[in-house]
Amino acid sequence: MTHPSYPIIRLKPNAEARAIRHGFPWVYANELVTDRRTKALASGALAILEDTNRAPMGVVTLNTKSKIIARILDRDPEAKIDAAWFEAKLRRALDHRERLYDTPFYRLVHAEADGLPGIVIDRFGDVAVIQPNAAWAEELFDTLSAALIKVTGVTTVVKNGTGRARSLEGLTEELVVMTGEIDAPIPVPMNGATYMADILGGQKTGLFFDQRPNHAFTQQLSKGAKVLDMFSHVGGFSLAALAGGATSALAVDSSAGALELARQGAVASGFEDKFTTRKGDAFDVLAALAEEGETFDVVVCDPPAFAPSKKSLEAGLRAYERIARLAATLVKPGGYLVVCSCSHAADLQKFRNSSARGIGRAGRRMQLVSTNFAGPDHPLLPHLAESGYLKALTFRLDV
């Protein structure tokens, strides 16, 4: 049986039907029969996917404008994608996060890994930020938002329709407070510090929850340490380090707005006397600090994605190597260098090799003491490499 109100679309004979049956969540444009009837379906339309033998494989969402032409929503071909369906998905996601965290600050939905393809939801207490990065999420946004309010009790919902993923889906950009109101940055308690999340004016949804366990690990290394936090955004690593007993922390970012939020976070955390900021290009600041003879016990580099796609991979790997080389010169003997990558195109081995090559080119010996990833509120779908984008490597130098 299949859902009677959804049209049927069909895989081509060369499609990876077995991979889809085993959990791969996407169908690429060259794998689907795109006849006139299929092409006429609106972006975000729901449909039943069949294999070449006309056996139903589940309910999917269709977007003929995207290379990812179909995304699996439910393996049950009789499923109805309605308010109750969204509520069940959100309750399952919420149950996991409430087991992890004592406070309502986390990533609530991590797209395909939580069974909601193309949808990201970050929660900041009574405020939730939804990123509808796929056409179906745009079409069903009101149903999703109502289900979110019902399940979590949030009072403010922000639609953050910005970013590269939406352009790939043929969607326009917008940032709108849909329900409730926001009139100031939101204080977020995490790892013993307070961070200021600018929901409407900051990067992404205002804060990077994915680095929480990596902040905590670096915090362990920072007792009595002088810390440098490059690409600091709102002070992610530096404020955590100060909460762990660092004697001082310097936060460097190219955004004056982000540094002001970091400063506010330091004040709110009671660390303002140990916290300083420096605005500038990271590569220039690293070189300048070396010329000034500065050294640090812990240096962290958490840059934006240098390799956001396969096309940019080689240039991105060179950038990771360069940043590791420049940063390594600032680490005291026996000190630590933390380098991070949020580029899914650069897998762990390539990123590790580039970082180690840069450290070696700086004339430093090293040991890799930790390899970490995103926190457990960012679950990984094993079939989908893109869901495991974040890598954090901690090296100890000259030991």
d(CA 138, CA 119): 9
- Give me the catalytic one of 230, 249, 286, 342: 342
Q: Are the C-beta atoms of residues 352 and 370 closer than 8 Å to each other?
A: no
d(CA 157, CA 168): 24
Residue whose pair of structure tokens reads 């049986």 in the numeric block: 1
Containing H/E element for 26?
A: strand 26-28
Q: Are the C-beta atoms of residues 209 and 105 closer than 8 Å to each other?
A: yes
Q: Are the C-beta atoms of residues 148 and 131 closer than 8 Å to each other?
A: no
The residue length of the chain stands at 399
Q: Are the C-beta atoms of residues 276 and 267 closer than 8 Å to each other?
A: no
Q: Are the C-beta atoms of residues 17 and 52 closer than 8 Å to each other?
A: yes
301 is annotated as an active-site residue: no
> What is the number of alpha carbons within 13 Å of residue 330 lying toward its C-beta?
28
Tokens of 152: 């979590």
Pick the closest to residue 103 from 23, 191, 171, 219 (CA basis). 191
Catalytic residues: 342
